[in-house]
Amino acid sequence: SVAGERLVPIPDRLEEILKNWLLTTRFPADQDPVFPTIKGRPFDYKNHWRRFGGPVAEELGLKNVSYHSFRHTANTGAGVAG
């Protein structure tokens, strides 16, 4: 969408778990991220890739991979697994 926000259907049980998580987290405001950084900020995938994903890919000898590559692979595997 224009705002980069989407509605994603989730099972009722997961909704219950996430609501409980938001009630117990240090950053429970309605508009805050579900899984913030330790400082309560939104997760920054570029920073995470620079610090963790890139070095792991390099150590494994993987070339031309990105954060999206891992997401795509995980989603494909989940689809195959059912």
16-59 pLDDT tens trace: 998 888 888 776 666 677 777 878 788 888 888 888 888 998 99
Give me the residue label for tokens 């031309």: 64
Residues 6+ apart with CB under 8 A from 27: 33, 36, 40
CA 82 vs. chain centroid, Å, equals: 20
Q: Which pLDDT score, from 0 to 100, does residue 13 have?
A: 96
Give me the residue label for tokens 């987290």: 25
Which has more pLDDT, 20 or 2?
20
Q: Is 43 helix (H, G, I), strand (E, B) or coil?
A: coil
Q: Domain limits of the chain? A: 12-81
N-to-C CA span, the chain: 27
d(CA 35, CA 42) in angstroms, rounded, equals: 7
